Structure 1
Amino acid sequence: MPASSAHVVVDLDVSGPTISKHLYGHFAEHLGRCIYGGFWVGEDSAIPNEGGLRLDVVEALRALDIPNLRWPGGCFADTYHWRDGIGPRQDRPITVNSNWGGVEENNHFGTHEFMALCELLGAEPYVNGNVGSGTVQEMSEWVEYLTRDGGSPAVRLRKANGRDAPWKVRFWGIGNEAWGCGGHMRAETYADLAARYATFCRDHDGNRLHRIAAGAADDDLRWTEALMKTVNCLGCTSTPRDVFQAISFHYYTHDGDGIATSPAVEFTDEQHYRTMLKAADIDRVIAGHSAVMDAYDPLRRIGLVCDEWGTWWRAEPGTNKAFLHQQNTLRDALVASLHFDIFHKHAARLRMANIAQTVNVLQAMILTDDDGGLVLTPTYHVFEMNKGHQDAASVPVHVIDGPAAVTVGDDELDVLSVSASTKDGTALVSMSNLALDTGTTVRLDLRGREITAARARILTADKPHAHNTMRAGDAVAPAEFPVELESGRLTAVLPPHSFATVALDLA
């Protein structure tokens, strides 16, 4: 196996911006088998459940310290009317999921079921409101239904449906993809609507809303600027108006041929590298949105949110194409690990991210079947191995000398990616080798803190196409990884297409 080397300096005594735990957020939409057959099996199912919520899925996600869960969409959010999903299930209307296959939606999973799921997960709810086909009053009353106490009509309705005390729900999305499935609006049109919706979605009884305006596709900086213009003027030093507290954007990774075009498992070396190049380009996209926001909000009071990200391949053969069910390989795991390194780099502005999606859809954590089978994907393991970064302080990482970049078309791809953080007397270093046939000996110069112990794990396989199935659930799984530590210098030999973490105990 060809080999290369790298020299990396990590300044453990220089604390940077906090890596919000919400960068490790998740997304669940009424799409395919994400909700029904994924999270929800119903109370009469033979699969172990609590109130209809599938317990093996809950247990697996709890192990990730899942910080938040976005629901009900996605495109579905802008056709969803929350009153259809409350009250006795047998009385809820059947509606049509016009975005994802035209299937009938029985609304058995609604507001109360979602809140029960978040409570089981220990995750904060992120509720996405309906701007596309809904009204300001409808979303305002949903906020009131969930978060207010007392005796208003919405509160009395909640209590009649079995929940006396209000919930705490901070995160609210003001529509979704208003430039597309959320209404095909102009940026200025949506910006005015976002300000209107945000104004009438009120804080109730100590529940302070964190309103997230639906932002751009990829690098559409004009959309971000239109939203920022609603809260401040260019170059003004005044505090932005407190209308919404964050702006989102969406970014999906593919191999250059577009979403839903290439297969998930069968890919060439060139397609692998094109995928990594596309994943790496989110660095440029975040930097662009951040620069626009800095011009209007230099103190960074308004957060940036990437509430949909991940790989989007052709649907698995034999499945409904509208259900977006795809397999998940080691290549997908490397897309995730690379994204997290970039998210950590931008932690000063980027406050939340939500992978699409949690179960059975796109770059899922978990795949299930109707017989009780469950598979943890390679991407799941990246989230688990990286959870020590949540709410940790980012620290500077300097690649002094690294392996040669790989030429991909007219571009160059750096094949080594590293990030690090410290928290509570520990440090976590994450390293990805994106190369297909070259191992890398990484020499980490760990400066500024004394290290008393090091423990490492690795995620890799013989081929980047490797994936887990119901019959082979551990084809790609973390394993212990030998490293050498001496006088603050750590040496690790990363095999090709691998992701590794090193946990350090600090004196």
Structure 2
Amino acid sequence: MIRIARVSGAPVIDRRIYGQFAEHLGRCVYEGLWVGEGSAIPHRNGLRTDVIQALRHIKVPLVRWPGGCFADEYHWLKGVGSERQPMVNTHWGGVVESNEFGTHEYFELLHQLDAEAYINGNVGSGTVAEMHDWIEYMTLDATAPMAELRRRHGREQPWRVEFFGVGNESWGCGGNMLPLHYANQYRQFQTYVRQYGEHPISKIACGANSDDYEWTEVLMARAAGHMDGLSLHYYTLPTGEWDVKGSALDFTPHEWHETLRQARRMDELITRHGGIMDRHDPAKRVGLIVDEWGTWYDVEKGTNPGFLYQQSTLRDAAVAAITLNIFHRHADRVRMANIAQMVNVLQAMILTDGSRMLTTPTYHVFDLYTDHQDAEYVDMPAGSFGAEIDATASFKDGAYAVSLTNTALDREVAVEFELPGRIEEVLRAQVLGAASATAHNTFDDPEAVALADLPVTVDGARARLVLPPHAVATVRLSVAE
């Protein structure tokens, strides 16, 4: 019998761990989010209403934009005003970027989602002056050139920018820099991310690619005092190889387990990067920001290889749950994460096809995990329910939320646990599953994988349930402590 109970001093699971990422890549922004004022697809101010409604349901806390690699070739002035200046998206398919979706449209997206801003600035091909001017344009409430330009473009009041990333993947597509060079660049650029209003902007430094611990050591040693967060990027590849990553839909039992093993590497990465951060920042003032994570497969056949479009199965649901559980366990250091990406790209929440839209199994995991947002973390030792169950728990508003993933492909697992008081009510008991682990939603069958009610037996302080194979579930129980 596993007893689940709060402990003194437990960290809070920041809702921003459930952050999203929208890059100008493939059909993420254009069609996925933005259809424009003249579209026949139902929209509000150019943003499609079906997608916004679905994202509001999972309580999206913030959106990272405009990239990604795109951020370090993005020049924001081309995307404001009535005369937009197109550019070539050299990273993602070589297509022409219209810049129809720019700063004003991004903040309209946040307004409709009731979400916070996380903007990535251009260090790789931009200038200090360009970044300074963008901050002034967005946040200054005074008579000054960029603030006046914003007003001429129709926005009187400044916006609030909660987070600003100073460059992206500066070790790669953002400039191929060495860590000391980027540390010096970061120190210079961040100086001009000014606080003009009463709300401070949290500055995020570009962190490591996967297991590049030298990068973290140099950045923390040279620039920790100038940052509020340090990023980390890690993608789950079934093969561990970039050239042949594997199929999103056709996978063997071995590939299922190997993919989950690769996903669990996130725990080691956070532990080791976090250990370096602890030496330089024992008070944990600087947050670890995992602002790119998720599965990455070979693109779907017949699609533009630069658009990174892939399907999503119950394997992706399991990866999402396992990864979120890891973030929970490191909630004292991990303050934000941004799955890649929100719509039509990599491990997306939503897929669209013209006017049609569907939600993916990963979307449903984020739905199941809304109960953990801003909740008190409740520790459970790894393997509490056996080797095949990956679990997490939290407490909020007088109720415990317990989420469980059955990683076994072919057998159900009975789970029983005890809470520290009589269970008064089952507030939620839902499971995400299907007959096959390769199950996924299509535009012809958009509900093939969906949430269903999960039977839970309650006896005093004890709860019992049976978790189907390759399934993810959340139960939320109010207690009288």
Q: Which moved more, 1:199-208 or 1:246-255?
A: 199-208
Question: Aligned ranges for residues 88-167 of structure 1 at < 5 Å?
Answer: 88=82, 91-167=83-159
The 2-side partners of 1:148 and 1:450 are apart by 53
Structure 1 match to 2:188: 196
How far residue 192 of structure 1 moved from its aligned partner, in angstroms, is 0.9
How far residue 215 of structure 1 moved from its aligned partner, in angstroms, is 0.5
The 2-side partners of 1:57 and 1:417 are apart by 30
**Percent identity of paired positions between Structure 1 and Structure 2:** 48
Partner of 1:191, secondary structure, is helix
Question: Aligned ranges for residues 63-74 of structure 1 at < 5 Å?
Answer: 63-74=57-68
1:363 correspondence with 2:335: no
1:61 correspondence with 2:44: no
How far residue 202 of structure 1 moved from its aligned partner, in angstroms, is 0.5
The 2-side partners of 1:258 and 1:46 are apart by 42
Question: Aligned ranges for residues 10-25 of structure 1 at < 5 Å?
Answer: 10-12=4-6, 14=8, 16-25=10-19
Structure 1 match to 2:328: 344
How far residue 15 of structure 1 moved from its aligned partner, in angstroms, is 5.6
The answer to whether the 8 A contact 2:360-2:441 is kept is: yes
What letter matches 2:447 in structure 1?
D
The 2-side partners of 1:340 and 1:261 are apart by 22
Partner of 2:168, secondary structure, is coil
Structure 1 match to 2:456: 483
The answer to whether the 8 A contact 2:325-2:391 is kept is: yes
How far residue 248 of structure 1 moved from its aligned partner, in angstroms, is 0.2
Structure 1 match to 2:44: 50
Structure 2 match to 1:277: 261
The 1-side partners of 2:219 and 2:381 are apart by 35
How far residue 400 of structure 1 moved from its aligned partner, in angstroms, is 6.8
Counterpart among 356, 360, 372 of residue 377 in structure 1: 360
The 2-side partners of 1:25 and 1:182 are apart by 22
How far residue 492 of structure 1 moved from its aligned partner, in angstroms, is 1.3
Structure 2 match to 1:396: 379
The 1-side partners of 2:61 and 2:198 are apart by 21
In the comparison of the two structures, how many residue pairs are matched? Answer: 478
What letter matches 2:60 in structure 1?
I
Counterpart among 291, 297, 312 of residue 281 in structure 2: 297
Q: Which has the higher contact order (CA 8 A, sep 6+)?
A: 1
Structure 2, unpaired ranges of 5+: none
Structure 1 match to 2:425: 453
Partner of 2:347, secondary structure, is coil
The 2-side partners of 1:58 and 1:327 are apart by 20
What letter matches 1:335 in structure 2?
V
The 2-side partners of 1:188 and 1:355 are apart by 28
How far residue 123 of structure 1 moved from its aligned partner, in angstroms, is 0.5
How far residue 61 of structure 1 moved from its aligned partner, in angstroms, is 0.2
Structure 2 match to 1:354: 338
Deviations 1:392-427 (A, max 9, x none): 100121357543xxxxxxxxxx42111111111122
Structure 1, unpaired ranges of 5+: 1-6, 233-240, 404-413
What letter matches 1:378 in structure 2?
P
Structure 2 match to 1:39: 33
How far residue 257 of structure 1 moved from its aligned partner, in angstroms, is 3.9
1:28 correspondence with 2:50: no
The answer to whether the 8 A contact 1:8-1:398 is kept is: no
What letter matches 1:196 in structure 2?
Q
1:440 correspondence with 2:434: no
Change (3 A) 1:327 1:334: same
Deviations 1:366-416 (A, max 9, x none): 00011x10000000000011101111100121357543xxxxxxxxxx421
The answer to whether the 8 A contact 2:229-2:287 is kept is: yes
Deviations 1:133-183 (A, max 9, x none): 001111111111101101110000000000000011110001100110001
The answer to whether the 8 A contact 1:13-1:449 is kept is: no
Q: Which moved more, 1:270-279 or 1:214-223?
A: 214-223
What letter matches 1:256 in structure 2?
T
The 1-side partners of 2:306 and 2:13 are apart by 35
How far residue 471 of structure 1 moved from its aligned partner, in angstroms, is 0.8
Counterpart among 474, 477, 480 of residue 447 in structure 2: 474
The 2-side partners of 1:396 and 1:261 are apart by 34
Deviations 1:418-455 (A, max 9, x none): 11111111221100011111221111122x33321123
Counterpart among 299, 309, 331 of residue 293 in structure 2: 309
Partner of 2:246, secondary structure, is coil
Deviations 1:226-273 (A, max 9, x none): 1101246xxxxxxxx2x1100001010011242462110000110000
Structure 1 match to 2:171: 179
